[in-house]
Amino acid sequence: MITRYLLRNFSSITPICHHFILRQLSSSDHNLSAVEYEKIANETLESLTETFENIVEKHKLSTDVSYSNGVLTVELNKYGTYVINKQTPNRQLWLSSPFTGPKRYDFIDQTWIYKHDGISLYELLNKEISNIFKNDKNINFKTCSYGKKS
């Protein structure tokens, strides 16, 4: 009976804890104006494009890096294709990764964070791209615009 009572109480506490954690992470800058969001998102995507282009050039890969109309596409041949795009209505950046699938990033504390795990866009890219180019210790997406907090 005591065990049942504790479990019942625990299950009623869990949603409260979960709600608290999500509320902490959801202090995103959704109050960004459309102009601010566009500026931040464009700066981010342009700096990510430049970083990907430098990596591709350094490794002399015949891949395609393109940025147009708010969509960054990076085709890494046998490794697959990354797509990072603006999602203006939600004030988010969306990532499609060949390794981890889709993720939606919110602008929180001056960086792009995936709320479900608290990992920044830059941390994820560092990990995944470093795994592809194991010999390159200089891959660092944290130097991109708004990547400093990662």
What burial class does residue 32 get, using C-beta atoms within 10 Å of its C-beta: 0-12 exposed, 13-18 middle, 19+ buried? middle
Three-state DSSP state, 103: strand
Task: Provide the angle, in degrees to the nearest 10, between the axes of the packed helices 121-132 and 34-58.
Answer: 10
Structural domain contains residue 48: yes
Structural domain contains residue 107: yes
Structural domain contains residue 102: yes
- Quote the pLDDT of residue 30: 57
**Overall domain count for the chain:** 1
- Quote the pLDDT of residue 122: 98
**Residues 3-33 pLDDT 10s:** 444 444 444 444 433 333 343 444 444 578 9
93 DSSP β-pair partners: 86, 105
Structural domain contains residue 78: yes
Structural domain contains residue 130: yes
Its domain, for residue 56, covers 30-143
DSSP secondary structure code for residue 104 in this structure: E
Q: What angle do CA 97, 100, 103 make, to 5 degrees?
A: 70
Mean pLDDT of 43-61: 94
Structural domain contains residue 76: yes
For 74, the token pair is 């990076």
CATH number for 134? 3.30.920.10
Structural domain contains residue 67: yes
Structural domain contains residue 23: no
- Quote the pLDDT of residue 134: 86
pTM for the full predicted model: 0.78
Beta strand 92-97 with 71-75 is: unpaired
Do 89 and 38 meet the contact criterion of CB atoms below 8 Å apart? no
Residue 143 confidence class, pLDDT cut points 50, 70, 90: very high
Q: Which residue has the higher pLDDT, 10 or 90?
A: 90
In degrees rounded to 5, what are phi and psi of residue 61?
Answer: -95, 145
Give residues with Cβ within 8 angstroms of 53, minimum separation 6: 65
